[in-house]
Amino acid sequence: MKPIALHERIRAEIEAAILGGQLRPGDRIPKETELMAEYGCARMTVNKALSALAGNGMLERRKRAGSFVAQPRTQSMVLDVPDLAAAIAARGQSYRWDLTSRKISAPARAEAEALGVRAKVLSVTGVHFSEGLPLAFEERMINLALVPDIAEADLSQTPPGSWLIAHVPWTEAENRISATAAPVAVARALGIARGAPCLMLERRTWRGTDTVTRVRQHFVADRYELVARFGPGGN
């Protein structure tokens, strides 16, 4: 069938022992030479397995001391923050984007400070629809110095997030997730009551030290949730 690589098998077995509780945090795992004998392979093979686990934060390795099961102090979860258009399409639902405003301007001094941008910015607002229902209200600023092309893009057809992901890929990013009461403008755009709960996602992405874009999305509470996973099945 599928001959699994040996280093992967070793990795998986040790991971299983950790997740299964046979190995507990602080426990020492056999040294490389011992595992090497146990599996009858070279040290590099064992090393690859252990390095991978150490990379995941599951092992802590100290020279001369050995390899130890790490403390799961802060569960690092993998959160998928997909492009909305793609995510909704992937769920087999219909998607629509409504551009409600678009303007180019120099950011106000305070904003420029917060954005870390002195250049001109494109400001966009709009609404994401799923199955014909408003799902999220989006306010976005885009640094035109870094992404001049977007000034010519037709953002009434393509939501800016989708355009950016296709044209300015692999930026660094930070997301802040919180809950808020819908402000008037948001409530009106989403057709919900003022003050109704919203999941708010604020994202800032950069290239090097320059901010590329800054988004704030208000999701209608009942219609969206984020999922984060941790674990070997974490795929």
**Contact positions toward its own copies, by CB under 8 A?**
18-21, 24-25, 52, 55, 58, 69, 71-83, 86-87, 165, 168-181, 195-200, 206-208, 219, 221-222, 224-234
Q: HSE on the CB side for 80, CA within 13 Å?
A: 11
Which of its own copies, DNA, none interacts with 8 (beta carbon under 5 to 8 A by kind)? Answer: DNA
Q: Which does 229 bind (CB under 5 to 8 A by kind): its own copies, DNA, none?
A: its own copies
Q: Which is nearer to DNA, 33 or 105 (CB)?
A: 33
Work out how close the CB of 121 gets to its own copies at its nearest, in angstroms, rounded to a whole number.
19
| Residue 8 near DNA by CB under 7 A | yes
Between strands 197-207 and 210-220, the pairing is antiparallel
Nearest C-alpha neighbor of 163 from the set 119, 213, 206, 95: 213
Say whether 212 sits in a helix, a strand or coil.
Answer: strand
Instruction: Sketch the per residue contact string, 9 through 48, with DNA: x for CB under 7 A, - otherwise.
Output: ----------------------xxx------xxxxxx-xx
Q: Decide whether 65 or 90 has the Cβ nearer to DNA.
A: 65
Instruction: List b or e across 108-141, with b for residues whose CB sees 16 or more CB atoms inside 10 angstroms.
Output: eeeeeeebebeeebbbbbbbbbbeeebbbbbbbb
User: Is 208 among the residues that bind DNA (CB under 7 A)?
Assistant: no
| 199 vs 81: CA distance, rounded Å | 14
Contact stretch for DNA (CB under 7 A) within 16-24, 59-67, 117-125, 131-139: 59-67
User: CB 49 → DNA: shortest distance, Å?
Assistant: 8
Say which DSSP state 3 is in.
-
In terms of CB distance, is 39 or 206 closer to its own copies?
206
Distance from C-alpha of 171 to C-alpha of 205, rounded to nearest angstrom: 6
State which of residues 51, 93, 162, 180 lies at the interface with DNA (CB under 7 A): 51
Tokens for 189? 């755009």
